[in-house]
Each structure stands twice: as C-alpha cells, then as structure tokens.
Chains A and B, each alone.
Chain A
Amino acid sequence: MNSWIAFWNILKKDIRNYYLKPPNISWGIIFPLSWTLMQLIGTPQAGLDSIRGLLPGLMGMSILFGTTSMLAVTITFERRGRSFERLLIAPISMTTMVLAKISGAIIFGVSIAFSPLLFAAFLTELSGINWGVAIISILLMAVTSTLLGFAIAVSSKEVFEAQTYSNFFRFPMLFLSGLFLPIEKLPVFLRPVSYCLPLTYGVDMLNGAIMHTGYMNVWLSLTVLIGFGVLLFYFCQWNIKRKWIL
C-alpha cells in the first residue's frame, strides 16, 4: 500500500514535469511526428495500401523515440539536480522505483505510437487489424525500448549526453530492426545484429497484426520480447546499485 502511494506519485510527478520539457518535445514528439508526416505524405497516392504497410515501421519508430527521450529526460534532469537521490533514500524497493520511473516513459511511448494510426485513418481504410496482437506488441516494444533507454541514461550525466548516446542506438535500430527495410534485404553479416534487437520482434508482431505478413511466429516473438524485458529490468536495477550507490 505504501509502495503504491510512492509509485503513483512518482509517476504523476514525471508526467507533469517532464512530458513537455524541450528535449522531450524535440526528440520524443516533433521528430517522430515529422518523420511520420513526411512518409505518409510522401507516399504516392496510387498505393493507398502502401500507407498501411508503412504503419508498423512508423509506430515502432515513434515508440522508440518517444520512450527513450522521455526516459532520458526523467532520469538525467533528476540526476543533475540530485533530486534523484531522494528516490534512492526513500523506503521503497528498487523494483518499485524502477517501475515508477519507466511507467511515465512507457505511457508516453504508447500514446505517441497512436499518432501514425491517427494520421493514416484519414488517408486509408484501417479495417482487419488484429488489435489484440497490435496492442500487446506496442506495449512490449514500449517496455523494452524504455528499459534500453534506462540502461543508456544510467551511463550518462547530462540530458544532451543521454539524447546523443541514445541516438547512437536509435538511428541504427531504425534500419536494423526491420522498421522500414525488411530484414531479408539487409546484408547477411548485419542480420544477426537484427535478431539481437527487441524492436525487431515487436515490429514483426505488429506487421503480423496490421499487414498479416508476420515473418516469425507470434509466440516466439512474444517470448523473446518478454525475455528482453525481464533481462533489461534486472540489468537496470543492478546497474543503478553499481553506479549510483557508490
């Protein structure tokens, strides 16, 4: 019960304070939105179906940028002002603390993920989507991307540094996770890298749900994504203890 009060208030504070902070606006909102618009508007009118084909990639990209930039902001601002120490000395478990910190970013990422859908709804027909699978994959992509962002944030001191480090990961991931280029079109030596990235599995699931062209088995993807989530969750806690409790 006590942990729940702390959890809820940390989440509420993060949403209020950081969703509209400039670094989050630029990388978490403006960037994915403009990329989305560029792709949707740039698509020739002839293939309305191809708009639908773009959706999984655009949604994956929005989630990736939305979650990682929000996470970087919530962690690094508080590390710099040292208010983060308050969370470390509060009588709440590390698990509760990490869950509270990532929830704000996950909710943000999931909301941003719906923006491409919203735009596409004006341009094309969106029937026949398997919403169950779509929502599960969106959620799992948000969780794994957030935790990946967390791992990066633990290693950086400044907000801009976290955003820069994130970009080292985010941009290659755009191309390696099958967001816009199918993995089969990647050079052979890059393909193993693709299979080490959680986003690959999430986007494949989403492709299955929206285009019915999933490449891998849904259950396999699901298992791998959950595996990534659990692993990263413990890695983050271990890393915080190692790096921030000197």
Chain B
Amino acid sequence: MGIVSVRNLKKEYGDFTAVDGISFDIEQGEIFGFLGPNGAGKTTTINMLIGLCRPTAGTIFIDGIDSIKDIKKAQSIMGVVADESNLYDEMDGYDNLCFCASLYGMRKAEREKRAKELLEWFGLKNAGRRPFRAYSKGMRRKLTIAAGIIHKPKILFLDEPTTGIDVESARQIRSLILDLKRQGTTVFLTTHYIEDAQRICDRIAFIVNGKIVKSGTVEELMENAEKEHIIKLTLNDNANGIKAELQRHFPTIRIEAEEGNTCFISSPERIALSPLLQYLDKKGISVFEAKEMRPTLEDVFVKVTGIEVNKLHKEKEGGKK
C-alpha cells in the first residue's frame, strides 16, 4: 500500500457521476500525475483527498490514516495548492506565508524563518512586502505553492500548478517540484500539459470522464507505442493524390496523408524505404525529406483517450475566467 491508497472512489452530483470508481496508489517520494481534459474529474478527486468534498463511495488511506473517518489527522501531513491562487489579497506575501504556517500550528520564530526562506527560494524576496493583490499571475502561483509547502508536508497536492503562466515561470515551478521530490516530498499533481507530466512525473494516470483509462510510468505508457515505426515523408506534390495508389501497392504499411505535401507511413516492422522511393520516383514524385518520427506521450494520449491534444489546451485557456 502506498502513502496514498485510493479504492473505488466515486463522486456523484445528483445523477451526474464526476468521478467513477477510480483506484490508484501513490508511493512514498514519487511524483504522481493526473492528466486529463476539462471536466475529467481531476479537481474533484483532489478535493476528495484533501477533505473539501465528500466521496459518494470508496476508501482513501493517507499515510495509513483512514482519511474519510479522520480527515483532520490526515490534513496535518498534507500541503495543498488549489487550481486558483487563493491567498489573501489584503496581506503582503510575507504575512500570507506566516499566516498559512500558523494554521498548521507553527510557532512564530519558526514561521518567520521559513517564510523568509521560501520567499528567497521562490525568487520573491523583493515582493515580500507587497500586497498579494499587486502580484502578477506567475508570482501569485509561486506564492501559493510556497504557502502550500511552508509546513513541510509529507505529501503535496498540486492542482494545475503551471496553467496560465509563462514558459519561464512554468519551468521554474517544474524545477521547484523536482527539488521537493529530492527532499523526500510525495507529490500528486494534475495537469493537462503533457510535457509537464512527461518531464516530472514518475507515474501518470490518464483520466477521462471520471475514469482512469491508462496509467503507469512514462516508459510503460510508451511501451506499445514504441513498437510502431513511423516515417514522415515530404513530397514535391500533394500527398493526398497518391495515397490510395501507394496503399494498394504497399499493403503491409499504413499510409496517412496530411494536407499539403506530407504523409506518414507506419508499420510494426522497420520500413525499407528504397522500394517506396523507387516507386514514387517512377511516378515522377520526388521525396525531399524522410524523417523517422519517435512516438511521443502525446501520441499515446491521443490514441488512448481519443482527444486531440491541441484542442485540450485551447479550450482550457479560453474557458478560464
């Protein structure tokens, strides 16, 4: 049993099922990621784990504590970063951190030392005396994360840590999360950025419509996909015109044409290119480029969930207030 152990967890709102009987374990010291589109049930799952939402059915054990029965005990070892940066607008960064520490019973001297340490570590030292309402989005995110770890929680829940902030801040936050892992913190995060998941998570679960459709380490998830060999060809002519004929001629490989002059050929075996090139040459079509494509986690995600990845981001950023 992991430090977090969830079995058949379910949440219904009226007759709508937001989380539909999921089970998973998080091992001590690992970074576990939930990857899924809007409305998949990621936030609902986190809320059930941290005690902001009552499960309809199922069990949750956190560090051996039955957290449905004894949530207050479990909460003392958790840190939580909500999907919105929810600190106090009226207070400055330093006071915000000290206040959050006090909620976990930390003493004054200890609070102040830790708050200074974190402001420094997050690069917010100069903003420490500015009110939270004057912070930029990225600064707000960082301070909210700092507030979530001020009491050195054993396990940290991060709901979309990098959504809506610039590339550089997102990179900093990823490296902060990896630092935390090095210090022994267990991390559960949700995201819809595949790169985020791939770069920092030890294990990932794909969640769609309240169900975990696939989970494992990045290598495990990629295992089947890597058996496929894909080559991208760039032609001097419209690829669609030649597609049907090509497919007839080479039935063992799969051929997909994109708009314009590119097409993808794929096969479970390694693909011998020369017959193909000769054939195309005979047809008067030149091949400018042939490039082997390594399948990405993104491809796996699309295949498993049937969700187009770029659509996933756009909806989210447009949809957020």
* B89 x A9 contact (CB < 8 A): no
Given A9-B102, A91-B75: A246 and B86 interface contact (C-beta under 8 Å): no
**A86 in contact (CB, < 8 A):** yes
**B115 in contact (CB, < 8 A):** no
Task: Report the separation of the CA atoms of residues A15 and B72 in the bound assembly, to the nearest whole angstrom.
Answer: 26
Given A91-B76, A92-B72, A246-B47: A6 and B86 interface contact (C-beta under 8 Å): no
Q: How far is the CB of A116 from chain B (nearest CB, A)?
A: 30
* B53 x A246 contact (CB < 8 A): yes
Partner of B88, one of A6, A83, A245: A83
**B54 in contact (CB, < 8 A):** yes
Query: Which of B13, B80, B88, B89 has the most chain A CB atoms closer than 10 A to its own CB?
Result: B88
Within 197-246 of A, Cβ neighbours of B (below 8 Å) are at: 245-246
* B103 x A245 contact (CB < 8 A): no
Question: Which residue of A is nearest B53, CB measured?
Answer: A246
* A83 x B104 contact (CB < 8 A): no
- In the complex, besides A18-B90, A81-B89, A246-B13, 6 extra interface pairs with C-beta distance below 8 angstroms are A5-B105, A16-B90, A83-B87, A87-B103, A89-B78, A246-B52
**B303 in contact (CB, < 8 A):** no
**A127 in contact (CB, < 8 A):** no
* B72 x A93 contact (CB < 8 A): yes
On B, residues with C-beta under 8 Å from A are 13, 47, 50-54, 72-73, 75-76, 78, 80, 82, 84, 86-91, 99-100, 102-107
* A82 x B73 contact (CB < 8 A): no
Give per-residue flags for A51-82: 1 if the beta carbon is below 8 A from chain B beta carbons, else 0: 00000000000000000000000000010011
* B51 x A6 contact (CB < 8 A): no
* A1 x B105 contact (CB < 8 A): yes
Question: Which residue of A is nearest B11, CB measured?
Answer: A246
The 9 closest A-B pairs by CB, nearest first: A2-B105, A9-B102, A91-B76, A90-B103, A82-B86, A17-B90, A91-B75, A246-B53, A83-B86
Number of interface residues of A (CB under 8 A): 27
**A13 in contact (CB, < 8 A):** yes
Find chain A residues with CB under 8 A from B87 CB: 83
* B52 x A90 contact (CB < 8 A): no
Find chain A residues with CB under 8 A from B107 CB: 5
Question: Which residue of A is nearest B87, CB measured?
Answer: A83
Partner of B91, one of A6, A17, A87, A92: A17
* A13 x B52 contact (CB < 8 A): no
**A130 in contact (CB, < 8 A):** no
**A98 in contact (CB, < 8 A):** no
Q: How far is the CB of B133 from chain A (nearest CB, A)?
A: 10
Question: Which residue of A is nearest B51, CB measured?
Answer: A89
Question: Which residue of B is nearest A246, CB measured?
Answer: B53
Question: Which residue of A is nearest B147, CB measured?
Answer: A86
Task: Report the separation of the CA atoms of residues A6 and B72 in the bound assembly, to the nearest whole angstrom.
Answer: 14
Find chain B residues with CB under 8 A from A246 CB: 13, 47, 52-54
**A3 in contact (CB, < 8 A):** yes
Find chain A residues with CB under 8 A from B90 CB: 16-18
* B84 x A82 contact (CB < 8 A): yes
Query: Which of B13, B89, B99 has the most chain A CB atoms closer than 10 A to its own CB?
Result: B99
Task: Report the separation of the CA atoms of residues A62 and B31 in the bound assembly, to the nearest whole angstrom.
Answer: 54
Find chain A residues with CB under 8 A from B99 CB: 9, 13
Find chain A residues with CB under 8 A from B78 CB: 89
Task: Report the separation of the CA atoms of residues A89 and B79 in the bound assembly, to the nearest whole angstrom.
Answer: 9
Task: Report the separation of the CA atoms of residues A10 and B105 in the bound assembly, to the nearest whole angstrom.
Answer: 12
Find chain A residues with CB under 8 A from B103 CB: 6, 9-10, 86-87, 90-92
Question: Which residue of B is nearest A17, CB measured?
Answer: B90
* B88 x A90 contact (CB < 8 A): no
Q: How far is the CB of B248 from chain A (nearest CB, A)?
A: 58
**A49 in contact (CB, < 8 A):** no
Find chain A residues with CB under 8 A from B50 CB: 89
Q: How far is the CB of B87 from chain A (nearest CB, A)?
A: 6
* A85 x B76 contact (CB < 8 A): no
Given A2-B105, A9-B102, A13-B99: A89 and B53 interface contact (C-beta under 8 Å): no
Given A1-B105, A245-B54, A246-B53: A91 and B82 interface contact (C-beta under 8 Å): no
Q: How far is the CB of A80 from chain B (nearest CB, A)?
A: 10
Query: Which of A6, A16, A83 has the most chain B CB atoms closer than 10 A to its own CB?
Result: A83
Question: Which residue of A is nearest B78, CB measured?
Answer: A89
Q: How far is the CB of B149 from chain A (nearest CB, A)?
A: 14
* A6 x B102 contact (CB < 8 A): yes
